[in-house]
Structures are given as structure tokens and as C-alpha cells.
Amino acid sequence: SKELKMFLCLLQAAAGILCYVGAYVFITYDDYDHFFEDVYTLIPAVIIIAVGTLLFIIGLIGCCATIRESRCGLATFVIILLLVFITEVVVVVLGYIYRAKVEDEVDHSIRKVYNRYNGTNPDAASRAIDYVQRQLRCCGIHNYSDWENTVWFKQTKNNSVPLSCCKAALSNCTGSLTRPMDLYSEGCEALVVKKLQEIMMYVIWAALAFAAIQLLGMLCACVVLCRRSRDPAYELLIAGGTYA
């Protein structure tokens, strides 16, 4: 049917968008992975990329079934869509579970990351902290004074925080604590948690949106199947027979 063909086009577009969302989550989490230790947080992103790939294949199956007017193909199409729909429901549930765990994960690991900062060697922890402080415009865990308790601050003994704490608009900032007005006043922990939870919400909303689209597709396919089963003349024509 015309509606089913339109849905198949929509399904192909949905597959591309789902893969994009999953890839975006992976790339963004890579920038913040030092602030959480539970690798299972990425499971929803893995699943949504797999679902996007599968949706593309399903779209091809659906196209073949529609072109050939195959009842068996359409039935298979509906069953696969149902399985993918269930998978997306699982993604939503896992997304909410891991979204709730983000705050505990960040709170548990952020002090360790700040204590590993050395400011000179291009190690991963130092790059991660400087990146987060510049991108989120924050300084320290709760505020810039947290740097006073770090190993790096005690070793340097210059009463300064990293330059990544300096406000972007200032070109002469040295990170000195004697000029706190030059530094970002907000701490990074709350902003990292907020950022990671926002990313997880992208996955949840994407899964919900395309679960709704799949329900529409299953409905269209079921309507087509019902028409086929109620129209023996049509089935004879498809089979190459005659109808008297």
C-alpha cells in the first residue's frame, strides 16, 4: 500500500538518525569517560546503533515484501518490527537506569581524576580535566577552591589553578587565586552530571520516538495483510491464476 511504502522511506531515514544519535553519544562520552567507571553506561548507545543498522535492513526487507506483494514477507516484516520495538523499550528502561546512576558514578570518580592531574605531561586525566573546564566553563569539583586540596596544587606552590579555569574572554589570566574574579566560579561536578544525563536523554527520546514510528509501521503492515487475506481474487492474480 501507499502508506506502507511511505513508512518504509521513513524507516530508512529513522535508521540513519538512530545511528547518528548512537555515534554522537559514543563520541561525547569519550570526552567524559574519565569521570565515570561503569562501562555499562554505554550499553544503550551500543543497542541504539545496532537497532539503527537493523532498521535499515528491515527497511530493505519491507521494500522487497511490498514490491513482491508477499504475505509471508510482510508477516516476517511485522515480526521483526515487533522484536525491534521490544529492544527499543529495553533501551528506554536501561537509559533511565543509567541516567539515575550517572550522579553516583561522577561523584565516586571525579576526585580521583583531579588528584591525577599533573598539568605538564599530556596524560589522559589532565587533558580530560582541561577539556571539561574549558567546555563547561567551570573550575574545580564544586568551585575553584577545590584545587587547593590537589597534589598538583601542593607541588607547584604558586597559588594558582590551571589556565583552563580562566574565563575565555580574558587574555591575561594567569590562574592566580589572588584574582578569583578571573576564574570560572561554578564547579564541574554538577555540570558534568547534567551533561551526561542530557546525552542519555537523547538516547531515551530517540528510542521512544522511533518505537512510536514502528508501531505505526506494524499497523500499516497488518492492515495490508488483512486486505490480502480478505481478497481471494487479488491472491489469485498475484499467484498468476484467473478469477471467474
Domains of the chain: 99-219 (1.10.1450.10)
pTM given for the model: 0.73
If you average pLDDT over residues 89-114, what whole number do you get?
83
Q: What is the mean pLDDT of the chain?
A: 78
Q: How far is CA 34 from CA 109, 110, 138, in A?
A: 8, 8, 16
If you average pLDDT over residues 230-239, what whole number do you get?
47
* pLDDT for the residue numbered 43: 74
**Burial status of residue 48 (CB atoms within 10 A of its CB: 0-12, 13-18, 19 or more):** buried
Q: What is the pLDDT of residues 11-32, one digit of tens each?
A: 777 777 777 887 887 777 777 7
Q: How remote is the C-alpha of 61 from its chain's centroid?
A: 26
If you compute the radius of gyration of the chain from its CA atoms, what whole number of angstroms results?
Answer: 27
